[in-house]
Amino acid sequence: MKHLLMLFVLSFIAVSCSGESEESSTSFSSSTISNPLTLAVDAVVEEAQSISGVIPTSSLAGASTQGLYQPMTAGGFGDEWTTTLTGLMDDREDSTETSPKEWMGIQVDKDAERTNGSKISALGRLENSLAIFCAIGVGLGSSSTYPSNGSHSVTLSGSVKTAIESQCEMEIEGEMEGATVSLNFEDAEDTTYYDKKITINAGFTQVYYVRYDTSEINIATSETSSVDSENDYISRTVIAYDLTTNILKLEYVSGPNSTLGNTDKHVDAYRLYIDGSSADKGYLMGMSYDDISSPMGTDQTETTHYLLAGKPEAIKDEVAGQTVALSFMSDKFGDTNARQACIDASNGDIATDKDNSLACSLTGTDVEETETGAEILISGYDNTLYASVSSSTTLSFDENTFATAVFSEN
């Protein structure tokens, strides 16, 4: 199963910067094969990636996002913004240490990968979570409607393999060429949020719920990757895209298929909100949590957490003076204090006189003063809530509760 999961790019680790700007095209090409599955993937990825590059690394241009709360008391970064921080790792470079500036740039770089090819950022993991969905859509061929209910199959012939690799930006290993993937389409048990339930069997089983119509795109999926007792992980992606209001919401959770507190357990949680209307708002929240056991008995936890706010379209259009509101907390600093600043979207530096400020192009949220949804998820982590999706799986937050709502549960 491990090799099949890697084959379909379904392990959610990774990252290596390509040097493209935020204006580069999405990883998913314009659809050659067009049907509700491929069109849903294209639309979601294109909108989500408007926030790509919001904090430039040394090799990227910028972008931005808006926040929701009044600035609270917290400290600025000072020289720490560009100074290598012990324990803060650049996973693109075989786990070398890096600065908060470069680390945050990596978190919003859709192309960032580890040396093993796995994705690092929330945007990269979004692409990974939809890759097999895209591949199945390509394999089914062009159609204006969903496939009929019942059993279907996709044979990975040479031409299908080539089309999938081109359109979905995923690699199918040689031994899989000619293999057949079994699918089953059925109506969702409850059609409030989704129209279809798709069960995919490719040596492992994965379930997708989907709705694609002229007013909304909703997708929910989860997977379990079990290598051994120490590497048994789940991940879940839930997407709601309102095409009428042009508002995209997304949550992603990856963690152990067990309770926390066992050896070396890691949890990632992301939340994305983009208002692509004339309001031009983008918010991104991320938390990385490690529970590390020591043979000396000195167990410890490590957490890095951030909230971003800015205006993606204004940054893409290079509107002058755009800044990104960032509130950042990491125990790598040796404390649990928030650090915040308005970041210049053109170069990733702290804007003049804007250290220790969230009064940016869009006002930001202080992670230290706000009880965030990601913190609630970690403190009450229950793997059974994220190991599957159902026809009732939906997102619990809106713009006003972006940083505070509990992550959606099954």
Higher-pLDDT residue of 92 and 299 is 92
Residues 6+ apart with CB under 8 A from 283: 65, 66, 67, 68, 271, 272, 273, 274, 307, 308, 309, 399, 402, 403
Question: What digits encode the pLDDT tens for the residues 329-358?
Answer: 988 888 888 899 999 988 899 999 999 999
Six token digits for residue 79 = 């020289």
DSSP H or E segment with residue 45: helix 36-48
Share of the chain above pLDDT 70, in %: 80
Q: What is the mean pLDDT of residues 359-381?
A: 86
Tell whether the model's pLDDT for residue 63 goes beyond 70.
no
* 55 phi, psi to nearest 5 deg: -120, 110
Q: Quick check: 77 and 365 in contact, CB under 8 A?
A: no
Compute the distance between CA of residue 223 and CA of residue 237 in angstroms, rounded to an integer.
9
pLDDT at 261: 64
Question: What digits encode the pLDDT tens for the residues 237-286?
Answer: 999 999 999 999 999 998 888 877 655 678 889 999 999 999 999 999 99
pLDDT band at 54 (very low <50, low <70, confident <90, very high): low
Q: What is the mean pLDDT of residues 125-139?
A: 81
Question: What digits encode the pLDDT tens for the residues 279-288?
Answer: 999 999 998 8
pLDDT at 5: 21
Question: What digits encode the pLDDT tens for the residues 358-368?
Answer: 999 999 999 88
Question: What digits encode the pLDDT tens for the residues 167-215?
Answer: 887 777 666 677 788 889 999 999 999 999 999 876 667 889 999 998 9
